Amino acid sequence: MQLEIINTEGKKTGRTIDLPEEIFGAEPNRHAIWLAVKQYLAAQRQGTHKVKTRAEAQGSSKKLHKQKGTGGARKGNLRNPLYKVVVPFSDQSPMATILK
C-alpha cells in the first residue's frame, strides 16, 4: 500500500511511503472503535458529583410533632429522606467511571 506524505499545511511533499497491506489494509471494526472512544470519554469525566447524605443535611433533629394523637403519620426529623426538599432518596457519591 503506497501513501503520499503531506506536510502540516496539507500540501503534498512528493514523497511516498510503503505500508504493509496486512496491517493497514484491514477493514476497521466499528464496534471496537466505538468502545475505545467510549472508554476514553469516560476517563475524561471528573466524577465529583455528590448528594448530601442524611447526616450532612441541614435541618433540626428535633421531633416534628408527638408520636401519637395527631392523626398524621409518625415523623422523626427533617433529615428523614421522606422530606425530599432536604435529603434526596437516591444517594450519589464520587466514584471513578470504570469500563471493561
pLDDT digits (tens, 9 = 90+) for 62-75: 777 777 887 777 77
50 and 21, same structural domain? no
Using one digit for the tens of pLDDT, what is the confidence trace for 10-58?
899 999 999 998 888 889 899 999 999 998 888 887 777 777 766 776 6
C-alpha–C-alpha distance, residues 16 and 6, integer Å: 9
53 and 88, same structural domain? yes
Cell readout for 91 is 444517594
Tell me the Ramachandran region of residue 50: left when phi exceeds 0, alpha when psi lies from -120 to 50, beta otherwise. beta
Rounded to 10 degrees, what is the CA torsion of 27, 28, 32, 34? -140
Domain range for 59:
46-63+76-100
In this structure, what DSSP letter does residue 28 have? Answer: P
